[in-house]
Amino acid sequence: MGIHHVSCRVTASGVDDTRSITDSLEWLAGDDAEIIVDKSTSYHGSKVYLMYFKLTKNKTVKQFINRLNEVDTSLISQTLSEKIDENNTLHLRFCLDSLIGGQLLIINSTQKSVKCNIKIEVYPGMTAEGEINKILFPA
């Protein structure tokens, strides 16, 4: 697999249902992932939660990619070059409300989202775009 790791994170306020967000992240991450929840306070004193996970094992990365392949990836394919940075990382956003409902929906806006980074393995003579195309859009 041509992926180093996958990491996803979401920020929730004190009024959000953190249990349902954590459950949806567990569903997205797969079997063996550990969801980390950091509790903090904002500048004004309200509760803020940062929830995230990082997948590094091939098994869990493959589960994540398989789940991603079940979605309409047309938004990714249309804007792939814009979503890959100079460090060969693919940046995606999933709709948080849809994820809580058990569906993956890739979004391109500023609504509440789960931010995911997919670090792509690229060696000399390869391109990040070409590698992610092989993984997400197999022929």
pLDDT tens for each residue of 105-130: 888 777 899 999 999 999 898 888 88
What is the pLDDT at residue 89?
94
Residue 55: per-residue pLDDT: 94
User: Does residue 35 surpass a pLDDT of 90?
Assistant: yes
pLDDT of residue 1: 58
3-state secondary structure at position 72: coil
Average pLDDT across the chain, whole number: 88
User: How many domains does the chain divide into?
Assistant: 1
Axis crossing angle, helix 58-69 with helix 18-29, rounded to the nearest 10: 100
What is the per-residue DSSP string for 81-137?
Answer: HHHB-TTSEEEEEEEHHHHHTT---B--SSSSEEEEEEEEP--TT--HHHHHHHHHS
Six-digit token pair at 77?
A: 């394919």
pTM of the full structure? 0.88
Residue 43 three-state SS: coil
Residue 93 has which token pair?
């956003």
Nearest to 114 by CA among 77, 60, 68, 58: 68
Which is higher by pLDDT, 139 or 30? 30
The domain that contains 99 carries what CATH number?
3.30.1440.10
Q: Please tell me the chain's helix, strand, coil percentages from 3-state DSSP, rounded to the nearest 5.
A: 35, 30, 35
Residue 61 clears pLDDT 80, i.e. is over it: yes
Domain that holds residue 47: 3-136
8-12, 90-94, 135-139, range with the lowest pLDDT: 135-139
